[in-house]
Structure 1
């Protein structure tokens, strides 16, 4: 029963990753694409988490950490670049 629930959750997460990927490709604005890629990264973290639960191991915990950090830093950097036009302030 538990493995069935995990498989259904993975199927839903895979479908939502597909929808986020299409939004990132077809998004009308750059901000939509940034939001879609950030959401894609967060859903990927959840998907890998469900894989860890189904395998009953913590083998991918570092992968989850790296993907989460990269998604956050990428979103912040792109948002700052689009808002100001540069990433680093020059004095």
Structure 2
């Protein structure tokens, strides 16, 4: 369980750094990348907390959150490029 605790701390610090980047970066693209990193950091934290608690529903939650995060990243990239391919 020490490895899981270390992983929680490291991913938590990465989430704090990406939250700072969301708040302080000037361009929308920087904020989009940081927001995507923040979302997937939270997905990682959910997975690690699920491992630590030995919860059987964690995989379902992580799967749905990762799918929603992926689709939101695609739609945000499409919005930032104004529909150009």
Query: What TM-score, normalized to structure 2?
Result: 0.86
Matched positions, count? 84
Q: Structure 1 residue runs of 4+, over 4 Å off? A: none
Give distance in 2, aligned partners of 1:12 and 1:43. 10
* Greater relative contact order structure (CA < 8 Å, 6+ sep): 2
RMSD: 1.6
Work out which of the residue numbers 72, 77, 82 in structure 2 matches 1:84: 82
Report the structure number with the largest CA radius of gyration: 1
- For structure 1, which runs of at least 5 residues remain unmatched after alignment? 87-91
Offset, 1:85: 5.6
Query: What TM-score, normalized to structure 1?
Result: 0.81
Offset, 1:84: 1.8
